[in-house]
Structure 1
């Protein structure tokens, strides 16, 4: 790198950094992208195993109703027609998600929207009566909120165990606002997203990142914090996508996250579970879900032509310093702490903070792209 000068030093080669670098290059700016990992793409990186693009850091499904965003990513790499239709496994019985007429038929054997709605209203009324009897005016925790929204049967079967594994806390200890609403669809439709567009890049997410970073200088295995002064000096501005509390050397203390680990295995079968995503909702099973990666990109004859498959069991855990942070813990303590760091960030003249770690905010992929497309560069 020497004494070369750049308009932007982009810390992190994930989606935010890659889209920013692409736009900056198109605007005639010179960028250097660095990442402490040995590969590009951040958490959307895919590893090819047995001819299958394995989502190494969890399932990523691109979905949006913003045509500008959809057209933009498709201008880099064509996306396929994958439709997200997860299945829940509770004690060996399967239920379709999101909650729709298939789910209600599987749960109660109801066959019409009127029958399903009557059952839901009956369960909601029961939950409301119990809370009123206990003198509860407003739901005090996630469990009470969920019971009012969806009733006991679905809550106990499809929400409680999964949520407690995901957050590492009992639902009675989680704030009610985590479940502000639950989608209920009175149609036989297993499409999880309401968005107009969804899919997976044909050939995997690496093709998207490679296309975005084409002709941009990149240095991998480069930790910003190990050489901060020199790296800061070689660019006019920094685009920082790492953890905001680390940027400020944990001045107010570390923010908390949930983290995820994966147990990935090659299975000697063409089709392990018949679906890309199967959630395991009972508390006693330690993993939250199994991802079968080939279903994201292989369909019909192509699926059967690949003699093996790759699955990943996903385990949620409490994050500690040194582990990979995944999901912000949006409780009062962490939100207040994050706001203190955001106040510091707002005062920076030559640093742009972007992405889930830099903003301490959960993002899907499309809103990240949309945000960068709207930025002045």
Structure 2
């Protein structure tokens, strides 16, 4: 039976029509018009007519580089590159701290979200105030490589990341689903930016080699101008592409989450068994304690990425049990790290680093415990998957508040 007759024969069988379409989309599309002409009153075919031609109708307006969204993105990308280059000039002269480079990226991504979302005067005023006040405060601090200043440099990007999240969510900043969308955007952004960055590195390598062939070494000029400019501008371009529903990152993100979760779980189990076998002690070994905390952050990031890439309507599957195992493992690691930090505080006294690590470990421990308890209820059919995602999104402002506290208060306290 050819595709034409197969469509007619299965007009009352939506599942079979879907199977025919997926088996050979082009043949289905070619045969469909004649079937539609023969059966103009069929509601099933009317739905398929819209499905097959909706995108064509949506894109009848000629795509143009002069579309407003594209122009706004282009202007913001250029500004991000130029501002980053100016900031870099001052950092080379040791006039300001290198961490100021974040102000060549975050405000311009936030500006694009403000343009897209029209967040309202209060949110807009809050965003502008947070960027300006944090930038002014940062540059009033002394240019010293003290522990408290290094903590400022580590926590400021986290705080600004939360501020960008406020720009993304706009008026719906209290909505868990909007916060979840921001987390998903971050995962897709990371994938797309990394893909474009790899392409940029290949272009850079090719450019360097081509100029070497003619006896010119442009490495210093190229990295100080083109690479720095491009890295900042590319962040705004990636933000624009993700908001335009680019399928590359959106389609691959769930698969990366499903692949990496079990790999991280197995790697960590082998690592921890090895650690026990060789007798490493986080209570006495400071570097090992730091690596323990690094592992904890990686596990937290992978777990959150996996949870956010799961659909709210998905049923239980093996990925959920892997996520729960990762969360339990992270709780064990965090409990050991907390014990080691408390031991070092009581034995060696209070320092900015120890206090900051204690604070972030307590926050992560509470977040992981909440997610774990929610996951257990989900696996026992007492809660839906949306509750797990809520346990992730509702906690985001807490990290932002802690990052702001460390950034502002630690230089004054210590």
Bin for the TM-score computed over the shorter chain? under 0.3
* TM-score using structure 1 length: 0.21
Structure having the higher helix fraction is 2
Larger % of strand: which? 1
TM-score (norm 2): 0.20
Higher relative contact order (CA 8 A, sep 6+): 1
